[in-house]
Structure 1
Amino acid sequence: MINEKLKLWIFVDWYLPAYKAGGPIQSISNLVNRLKDEFDISIITSNTDLEETLNLKTKDVNVWVYKNGYRVMYLDANHQNQSFFKKILSENSFDVVYFNSLFSVKYTLLPFWLLRNKPIKRVLATRGMLGKGALAIKPLKKILFLKLFRFMGLHKKVVWHATAESEKNEIIEHFGIRRRILLAPNLSSIRTDALIEKKKNANQIHLFYLSRIAIKKNLFGALEALLKIKPEFKVRYSIIGPIEDKMYWEKCLKLIDKMPEHISVNYLGAVPNHKLSELLKTEHVLFLPTYGENFGHVIMESWQNGCPVIISDQTPWLNLELKELGYDVPLEKENGFVKVIEKFCEMSELEYNKWSNRSYIYANEFIENPELIEQNKALFLNENIK
């Protein structure tokens, strides 16, 4: 007798072919592709990306669309409501439900509430949203949401998915030490491209920003640092990502207009994930002084493409200099980012490519670690939470 696969349902605000919403899409896409042979996976999502509707056929909206080894339902605005969610939940069977966001009303709070008394396992990922930097952005709305979540007792009816020890500590801080928390780092896509050595001129560096343009990612702080780079160093900064916050982008543009001649800044727009590798062949270092990441797919993506990183200390990736993978700089350290950018500028092509090679090797070893797969499988295999 063949054992049936466990039926895993995933609720997420955006999914492929959406890409502008960034990390959450990659998190679920990688999870699905790495686990679809083990689980019977169904995804409930919207028919949108950031501020735009996906180019889907009308017949593929509000119905199950079968992909390579799993299925997706893309909901339009008229179907993202309690009555339709009740309908699909009552008409289908499933064993475990995974919620990919803490602060999503439509794709966490609503289905979670409908399933609150069902004897099934519910798993919730916070996706770095409990970090101090993340909570400092629109804090009132988030504080009210957390209070409501606790008041309804939903925090007791879930297995919490932490992707790092820091995230586990944040969950304990907000919801108590008695919570059921499982640690499972995010999965990344497996790449087979060989590393190609990069050209680098003396006293020059090609930096790039790869993320949504929003306060949390701190592009403004990155631009402030570039203004302080010594004139003997030549820096190119490529900004890659969708504009989520237009007012914030206007502030950034004012700084870009002030850049001296030795600093060039180019906005390349949003780029689909499958086109990134080609683009990053001519880039050297990711520069992302983020206010907080629970994992940072763009960090791993950079290493996979042989690009060391300059990031803040608000991610799980710390002590990078010792491994020659880049630098993690405290946000409050004045001129800290300036100094490490200038260090990369000073590197010879030979020295830079040593760091590039270490980044590539580290990423491959991390991604292909079989323990990560087992940790992620364990999120969905254990006991029900009533």
Structure 2
Amino acid sequence: MRIMMSADWFYPSQMGGPSNAIYWQAKAMARAGHQVTVVATSQDIPSTVPTSRWLTLACGRVMYTKNPHFYLPFAHIWYAVVAIRQAEVVHINSLFYPSSVVLVIAARLLRKRIIWAPHGELSPSALIYRSRLKQGLLRLFRVVSKDVIFHSTCAAETVHIRQHFGHNALVQELENMMEMAPARTRKPEPYLLFIGRLHPIKAIDRLLETLSESAIFRNGAYSLTIAGPDTNNYRTYLEELVKTWELTEKVTFVGPVYGDQKEQLLANAYVTILPSHSENFGNVVIESLAQGTPVIASTGTPWQLLETKRAGCWVDNNPSDLCHAIEQFLRLSVDAYASYRQGASELARRFDIHANVAQWERFYEDALG
């Protein structure tokens, strides 16, 4: 099978979960014997990565395009159209990146089967940013999306897609999967962990408010570690909140973490917290579970499995409910906590992309069929 994938951010970029999810997906399909071509931008990749030439990597043939500006992706469009000509399936990642609609139109003209993945961009919490522009673009997208198959990662995202593209929109639902990092030797430390992009949609301010109201957190040995890249100076706002709520001694910002440092940070944490207003998936949940660390996730994420598999909590992110869930964890006995860690490790296996690559093969075969 010949698959062409377009991505705005792509590994080794770490600007959000999709940059890794698309890479793992491409790598698994390439390892399974399929011809995979990825055209990405050079945004947020190390200077040591060659740009504007084809590279043969573990995930297939990759081009990191050098564009005049991130939002003027002329080179990205050019190389992607060249790649589309040789593909059977064209998988466009992102709705609102400027090249996406151009590539959908090009793929339609070339009579290719098209898969379009919103990656959470249609959630109400995401659409409030630049809402007028996005609503205008969605009207255009509805015109060009006939016969396009939308990739949804969860039931909520399927609902969002059909709200905007109609009840007859073609949607295939398949959870994100990932390449599992080896379990690290745990050196337990008394910290709660938020790890991810620092952005208002992640509701980190809600988490800080919650912890400011928790006597158990304030008076106990536990602290909060916040890791991840800043977006639009949101970290400064969070640091002001930390001072306002007198949490300076209890909250640490460590910036972006990658590779072994990231996995060890996840492994050592007592619990990972994802309080987001909205997530179409949340790769960090799987990354935490893979290290045996339970997760408290908001009901704005599709992670009810944390409750049913006893691997964490799925709770509303209002301060009262979130505080109750966190304090429940801080009160767990040693044996009860060990049970949650076991549940976390067992649940992680469900999302191993190399063990479950047949699901993606069926996804593409169904699209072609």
Q: Tell me the TM-score normalized by structure 1.
A: 0.86
Q: 1:282 to 1:217 in 2, by over 3 A?
A: same
* Matching of residue 85 in structure 1 with residue 77 in structure 2: yes
Q: Conserved in 2, the CA contact under 8 Å of 1:306 and 1:359?
A: yes
Structure 1 residue runs without a partner (length 5+): 1-5
One of 325, 345, 353 as aligned partner of 1:360 = 345
Residue 136 in structure 1 maps to residue 133 in structure 2: no
C-alpha separation in 2, matches of 1:118 and 1:110: 12
Instruction: Kindly indicate whether residue 271 of structure 2 is the aligned counterpart of residue 292 of structure 1.
Output: no
Q: 1:44 aligns with which of 39, 44, 47?
A: 39
Change (3 A) 1:294 1:84: closer
CA deviations 1:88-127 (Å, max 9, x no partner) are 6347511111111111112x12222222322111101111
Query: Secondary structure in 1 aligned to 2:265?
Result: helix
Out of 83, 96, 102, the position equivalent to 2:95 is 102
Q: Give 1:62's aligned residue.
A: 52
1:166 aligns with 2:156: yes
Whichever residue aligns with residue 227 of structure 1, its letter is S
- Between 95-104 and 182-191, report the one with greater CA deviation: 182-191
Superposed displacement of residue 369, structure 1: 9.1
| In structure 2, C-alpha distance between the alignment counterparts of 1:354 and 1:183, rounded to whole Å | 31
Q: CA deviation at 1:261?
A: 6.2
Q: CA separation of 1:285/1:87 partners in 2, compared to 1, >3 Å: closer, same or farther?
A: closer
1:114 aligns with 2:106: yes
Q: Secondary structure in 2 aligned to 1:182?
A: strand
Residue 218 of structure 1 pairs with residue 203 of structure 2 = yes
Structure 1 position 241 matched with structure 2 position 213: no
Of 193, 197, 205, 1:208 maps to 193
Distance change in 2, residues 1:320/1:382 (3 Å): closer
User: Mind listing any 5+ residue stretches in structure 2 that lack a counterpart?
Assistant: none
Shift of residue 381 of structure 1?
2.1
Measure how far apart 1:348 and its partner are. Answer: 2.7
- 1:26 corresponds to which residue? 20
**Which residue is equivalent to 1:147?**
139
TM superposition shift of 1:321? 3.3
Name the CA distance, whole Å, in 2 between partners of 1:112 and 1:272.
33
Would you say the 8 A contact 2:184–2:264 is kept in 1? Answer: no
The alpha-carbon distance between structure 1 residues 281 and 140, as it changes in their structure 2 partners (threshold 3 A), is same
Matching residue of 1:3: none
SS of residue paired to 1:208: strand
Shift of 1:259: 4.2
Choose from 288, 296, 310 the match for 2:296.
Answer: 310
- Are residue 348 (structure 1) and residue 336 (structure 2) matched? no
1: CA distance, partners of 2:351 / 2:36: 25
Quick one: which amino acid aligns to residue 380 of structure 1? Y
Give the direction of change, closer, same or farther, for the CA distance of 1:319–1:48 in structure 2 (3 Å limit): closer
Counterpart code for 1:137 = Y
Q: What's the C-alpha RMSD, in Å, of the aligned pairs?
A: 2.5
Query: Does the 8 Å contact 2:315/2:321 carry over to 1?
Result: yes
Per the TM alignment, residue 77 of structure 1 is displaced from its structure 2 partner at its CA by 1.4
Structure 1 residues 311-334: Cα deviation after superposition (integer angstroms, max 9, x where no partner): 210111116334321111123x45
Alignment of 1:376 with 2:360, yes or no, is yes
Q: How far 1:146 sits from its partner (Å)? A: 1.0
Q: Percent of counterpart pairs with the same letter? A: 25
CA distance in 1, matches of 2:277, 2:164: 19
Of the structure 1 ranges 136-145 and 175-184, higher mean CA displacement relative to structure 2 is found in 136-145
Could you tell me how far 1:268 is from its partner in structure 2? 0.9
Is the 8 Å Cα contact of residues 227 and 255 (structure 2) preserved in structure 1?
yes
The count of corresponding residues between Structure 1 and Structure 2 is 363
Do 1:161 and 1:379's aligned partners in 2 also have CA atoms closer than 8 Å? no
Q: Secondary structure at the match of 1:174?
A: helix
